[in-house]
Amino acid sequence: MKRTLLFLILLFPSLSFAKLSVGISGPDMADIELPCGGRWQGYIRVYNDGDEPAQVHLYSTLDFVMLSTNLVTLNPGGSAKVGVLIIAPDREGIYSGKILARVLGDHNTVIALEVYKNVRVKVFHLFGGVGRGYASKYNMSHPPIARITEEVGRKFTIDDIREMYLSGKIGFWDAFGLLREKGVHWLKAFFLVLWWFLLK
Amino acid sequence: MKVEVIPWVLLLSMQLSLAAITATATVSNTAPSISNIWITETTGTPVSSLDPATEYYIIVNVTDSNSLKDIENITLTLYNNSLNSPDSTRYHYTFKFDNDTLSFSEIGPGNTHLITADCSYPTLTNVYGNYTFAIRLNETAIPSTWVLWVNVTDSAGNKVSKNVTFSVNEYISASLDDSSLTFSGSPGTNDVPASENPTVVTVKSNVNFSIQVKGSGDFVGSTDSSFTIPLSYLTFDDDSTPSESTETGLAEKSCDTVYQILYSNVGYGYNVAKNIYWFLDIPNGILAQEYTTTIYVGVFSA
């Protein structure tokens, strides 16, 4: 009997249950470059590595970084993919923020556990200064520029620009800037995009 | 007479020998080829970056004119350092399909990174088909560019290989063994330890990280909210002695509404455990009641 008691006493301190648990992963979002109004779509993945089900609250500290959901319930060992949509603001600049994943305790003086993913977005105007040679100047790994090159190649035509504008992949001034890059006179480019605008 | 009989005997024996000729076609062995390699989510969506601790499929499309029965084995090596480096959870993984046993196996670094139940091979009488390896990288796999090297060997010893690159994303997962803190003491008592001390933070991560603490605001009385305890009266430390005469570890810190770093640049790892000890100064002149606030523990990449 003494032996059993001794065993229990030794065993007990080594037991520790994870009461709160949260993890985060996903593609790098610290070097995104977008034209004004441009979009970037990606995801984060959240995890519950604990022993109990977890409600994971998700927040973005940048108002133009949107998440497909703000609350995920995960079973022990579970994970979930949450969509991230970034629509670049109209003002140029470098924006830094975080996507936070948080789980909360459930008592009076609670402990909350947080992990986060850094987000850094460089927003620029395609029109004016950037248009010429932008394909090599700017990182091509993010939409919509990557999409432009993927879909039509680097030598895109005026028809391609119209197609992208009408399908909403690029904005008015982006289309204008791209036309200027093709060597179209600014007045002609303006009225051409205006015509497309009316077609929309 | 004898002279005439001999040719008939010869002819007859020739006819008999002609009837015994069998046709033999020798088929040579041709080398297999790897037509394509895909990395996909379990939903089938192709990916170029992988999250640790998440299941993915690596699909290898193999062609062999001698049929897939001729394939001896297929070896997958995922590495960040070099092809022939030893297997490790951080840098190098090796998986194999063996045609003799029709089985998938993890050569290294362990036995938890290949989900054999989800692996599959094609009909072996076909000349081409997909071999699916279901893999899950360890939480400590280095976030960087990796190479997936595929080697196919047939029964004649012909070997072909193909490789693709992919990246591994950053991963941080943290657990706490407490979900609340409890301090009990009389007014005017300093350094009242939390009955939960220590709170153990356990981290799985492939990047170095810091552990930080903040609070939502002052402790507020639950029945009479005009009485509060300043948040700065809550302190935290890496050891059970809040203020040694000679600090042996990290210095005790006061809680604030912005994050304060307790542990900085902790090395990545699997189940890295760190302790947080909590202490509260209970001021004089406050009502006996429960006081509450929310304490945040943040685990962030360094």
Per-residue pLDDT reduced to its tens digit, A86-133? 998 888 899 999 999 998 877 656 778 889 888 999 988 765 444 333
Instruction: Say if residue B198 is preceded by a cis peptide, omega within 30 of 0.
Output: yes
pLDDT of amino acid B244: 61
In sequence order, what DSSP letters do the residues of A57-98 get, joined into one string? EEEESSTTEEES-SEEEE-TT-EEEEEEEEE--SS-EEEEEE
Beta-strand runs (E) in chain A:
20-25, 32-35, 39-47, 54-60, 65-67, 71-74, 79-87, 93-104, 110-124
**Which residues does chain A have within 8 Å of residue B182's beta carbon, measured at their own beta carbons?**
109
Calculate what percentage of chain A has a pLDDT beyond 90: 30
CA B70 – CA B207 distance, rounded (Å): 43
CA of B183 to nearest chain A CA: how many angstroms apart? 9
Residues of A with a Cβ under 8 Å from any B Cβ are 16-28, 45, 47, 49-50, 79, 102, 104-118
Are the C-beta atoms of B59 and B68 separated by less than 8 Å? no
Q: Which of A92, A114, A151, A136 is nearest to A23 (CA)?
A: A114
3-state secondary structure B158-176: CEEEEEEEEEECCEEEEEE
Per-residue pLDDT reduced to its tens digit, B75-111? 999 999 899 999 999 999 999 999 999 999 999 899 9
In terms of CA atoms, which chain B residue is nearest residue A54? B175
Sign of the CA dihedral running B222, B225, B227, B230: positive
Domain ranges of chain A: 18-124, 134-199
Phi then psi for residue B82, to 5 deg, are -145, 160
**Which residues does chain B have within 8 Å of residue A17's beta carbon, measured at their own beta carbons?**
177
**Which residues does chain B have within 8 Å of residue A26's beta carbon, measured at their own beta carbons?**
51, 169
Residue A143 has pLDDT above 90, yes or no: no
Beta bridge mates, B41: B56
B294 CB contacts (<8 Å, ≥6 apart)? Answer: A104, A109, A110, A111, A112, B215, B216
Q: Given 3-state DSSP classes, what are the helix, strand and coil percentages for chain B, each rounded to the nearest 5?
A: 10, 45, 45
Domains in chain B, CATH or no CATH each: 33-168 (2.60.40.10), 172-301 (2.60.40)
CATH code at A18-124: 2.60.40.10
**Residue contact B179–A49, C-beta within 8 A:** no
- Which one of A20, A28, A117 has the shortest CB-CB distance to B175? A20
Residue A136 has pLDDT above 50, yes or no: no
- Which one of A16, A19, A108 has the shortest CB-CB distance to B292? A108
Confidence of residue A3 (pLDDT cuts 50, 70, 90): very low
Quote the pTM value: 0.76
